[in-house]
Chain A
């Protein structure tokens, strides 16, 4: 019965190996389990879960993970980060899948659908988060230095041919942005009689890569961009002055002939969650920080290649006073 013996030997070997392997450091899992149990009891369940939408740009991540880290560390919440685009995030308020959108750049259509009054009331405005969005037309720094007059819109036509590409049909190319953003550039170009054609980059990655290459190779490029944005600390783009924004100059959309207004970025939250009395509600309500704060964390993530959690934890540790002001 050699075969049977072989099987037996294998089994014996296995059992022996198990005991040997299990012997080393087997207690650490049990110990941690017990510790976690204790921690859960100590927290007393005051803070439930916090469902934080994470929209796909680094500045947003910075805000979301800083608030999440504070909620975890100070309030003992379990934070679920959910990587979603804006539309999907808003859809999730009513189902309880999303509690907080921490940085909203303005979505009139979604507000109409989900705010009290015109919509189902599942979402509500929770006030500004302290960041101010600046949207506009930007050029790479080398261009602003070499041709300073390019920073005035009146001079753009002079350079139109330099901006021409294979995509712009003989006119200058204006690089439109990721479709997620509100853009009136087609109307602006037409109403200001600019000899340009809007070519949409289609994604933030494509816009950033285009500006990066343009600066590196000293190429002409003008396009839609915005801050706060981590890329600005890598290549500080220069803003072109358009006719200044005046109340009502963006109505109707086809008649826009002015610059974009500064946008006060807001927090949008689930109405049901806001009324739940959870301690994290006050934290989100109180949360406010500056563009500079956000840029710091965004730089940790994008330049220093830290994970979102580590970047947020670092900032929280460095700024105890600011954090304290948010706590309930």
Chain B
């Protein structure tokens, strides 16, 4: 349901050289054509509004939905004899017993022992040692501080449980994902098939497949691991596949001439040379896995999601905030560790080994011994086994709670009127002036459909038209047209606001190192904190409404877009900026005429990712009164007779995502260069 990327792929990449100046050779500019289409649409809307909108009531469903529900019922009824279920149950048993064993070792009492086999001191020491071994002193300190914060804030067990589930899901992702990555790297046909499946896995809202996953894999840890795995697998496959594919052909030819086998080529050349990219993929997979923490606890998955939901049940912002914050701590810790580890591996490989190999080994042996000693201590001494109780977590919770109350009490008299004005102006419109939603959702379906198709053709050419038509047809047949158009409206509005933020903050961060230092951790937090933590304050400010859903989407999507823009602008060569300065350009000219145009590929990528990220929050929108497809998905998750409607809504979200992705992709490719987009940009566009 949610896609997290602390560092979206390509974030650090330089803008490609081939996306140079925009071609402005057409006779009629594209924007003029698009405006003409919209004007025509408004005119038609004026005379036809409110007819054939295919509106379906919140608790109504159609035969299509009932058919999907009865298919689910059939699978459910056959579970005792279904061979697939037999297989998945035995896989589930492996996950369940692994989680159980790890928990008894590290987080819960291993009865009759009153405590786990290894206490907090030992676990922290070993984790810090691993940090030291793979990434150095600074990371070891970061890891130590993170683990201590789990205990000090009073969530030791839940934090370790979340790490266990994440670890198993990521391990399974590597086992399944690496062969797939190699396969798609070496076969174009495999690539095109697997890509579609990965798109589906990433855009289908989790609430849709959570119940079937439980049906096949059971309640609790096993279901949680599998649900996490489904969502976390795609980034690894995509990015690793891309890395392996991009190993320079000359290197491969050179080594091939030495007469190596395919296996040797893979093991000795392709995999080692793609190592840095593979680790980026692993990093993204870990982040995606963490973003499932709260969702997994809807089916009794162990971890920090449980206390977050406990806070939500009693509308206690503080109680949800502290475990939410710890999820951010874990995300930042794992992100920085994997990044540092990969940089270090790069350096070592480049220099051909560690500089002080012998000293390093001694150091690791010494500290390793110390860690083992601490493990022993934590097995025999109660103080080292059970984290001492501390009031810090509760006080932090009450601080967060009163801060949130203060903000909402003082601001809600401004925010609610603002919401009203904004909604009427942008979404609702009036009788003779359409808002975006009235245009999309209150026009007859064939008018909206035709308008979208023509707009896709205008901005993206034939390559955009075809997927658009397929997706629109799919949405039509899933019987949720009206809801889909409302969701599309919210997604578009949210993305425009996201891009405004991305331009302002992205440029600011790129131009000021200090701003970057301050803002970046906030962006990391915005991306990894579970939305369930900030739902209540946002609701208090804006009430249950579509605007609230848009705000939630922005909180989630803006960080990724801001980072992409910042990195893109930063990547503009210093010499180019120097040159423009020497011609006496003002700062404003420098930004608008040099930096932004040259970072165009990053801007387009940020827009594309912004769209998909905002769309990913549609389901959260359903939880805060925005209705539409998000509500349908939650409904399907909540009431068994409505599962088919939820499934149809989930599929509609997937289709919207694919449509928006293909249109933006085609628009950018069509504009930037006459040639095919490079493989790099393709990979980056994959809705990660």
Q: Which residues of A contact B (CB under 8 A)?
A: 3-4, 6-7, 10-11, 14-15, 17-18, 21-22, 24-26, 28-29, 32-34, 36-37, 40, 56-58, 61, 82-88, 90-92, 94-95, 97-98, 107, 109-110, 113, 120, 165-167, 169, 175-176, 178-180, 183-184, 186, 198-210, 212-213, 216-217, 230-231, 253, 301-302, 305
Contact = CB atoms under 8 A, between A and B. Distances in A.
B413 A217 contact: yes
Given A186-B58, A206-B539, A29 B114 contact: yes
A34 B114 CA distance: 10
A205 B382 contact: no
Give the 3 A-B residue pairs with the shortest CB-CB distance, closest first: A36-B112, A166-B423, A179-B635
A204 B130 CA distance: 43
Contact of A200 (B315, B365, B631): B631
Contact of A210 (B60, B413, B427, B543): B543
19 contacts: A6-B366, A21-B384, A22-B377, A29-B379, A84-B300, A90-B640, A91-B215, A95-B219, A166-B428, A166-B546, A178-B638, A183-B59, A201-B624, A202-B544, A202-B622, A205-B623, A206-B544, A206-B625, A209-B544
B309 interface: yes
Nearest to A56: B313
Contact of B369 (A14, A22, A167, A206): A14
Contacts of B306: 83
A186 B57 CA distance: 8
A33 B59 CA distance: 55
Given A95-B218, A166-B428, 15 more contacts: A18-B376, A28-B382, A36-B113, A84-B219, A84-B298, A88-B298, A91-B215, A107-B639, A113-B76, A113-B640, A179-B642, A200-B627, A203-B624, A209-B315, A212-B315
Given A25-B381, A26-B380, A84-B299, A109 B641 contact: yes
Contacts of B215: 91
Nearest to B545: A167
Contacts of A176: 58
B370 A24 contact: no
Given A15-B373, A37-B112, A205-B539, A110 B640 contact: yes
Given A83-B306, A199-B544, A26 B630 contact: no
Contacts, number: 220
B457 interface: no
Given A37-B112, A206-B544, A58 B219 contact: no
Nearest to B539: A209
Contacts of A91: 76, 211, 214-215, 219
Contact of B114 (A36, A85, A165): A36
From DSSP, what is the main secondary structure of chain A's interface residues?
A: helix
B672 interface: no
B111 interface: yes
B637 interface: yes
B185 interface: no
B219 A92 contact: yes
B640 A107 contact: yes
A205 B539 CA distance: 9
B256 interface: no
Nearest to A214: B543
B547 to A, nearest CB: 7
Nearest to B121: A21
A198 B58 CA distance: 8
A225 to B, nearest CB: 14
Contacts of B638: 85-87, 178-180
B311 to A, nearest CB: 10
Nearest to B422: A166
A28 B366 CA distance: 30
A24 B383 CA distance: 9
A186 B59 CA distance: 8
B113, B300, B377, B408: which has the most chain A beta carbons within 10 Å? B300
B79 interface: yes
A186 B14 CA distance: 54
Interface string B336-378: 0000000000000000000000110010011101100100110
A11 B369 contact: yes
Contact of B300 (A11, A83, A86, A199): A83
A217 to B, nearest CB: 7
B377 A217 contact: no
B402 to A, nearest CB: 14
B366 A179 contact: no
B211 A88 contact: yes
A252 to B, nearest CB: 12
Interface string B617-637: 000001111110011001101
B219 A82 contact: yes
B625 A18 contact: no
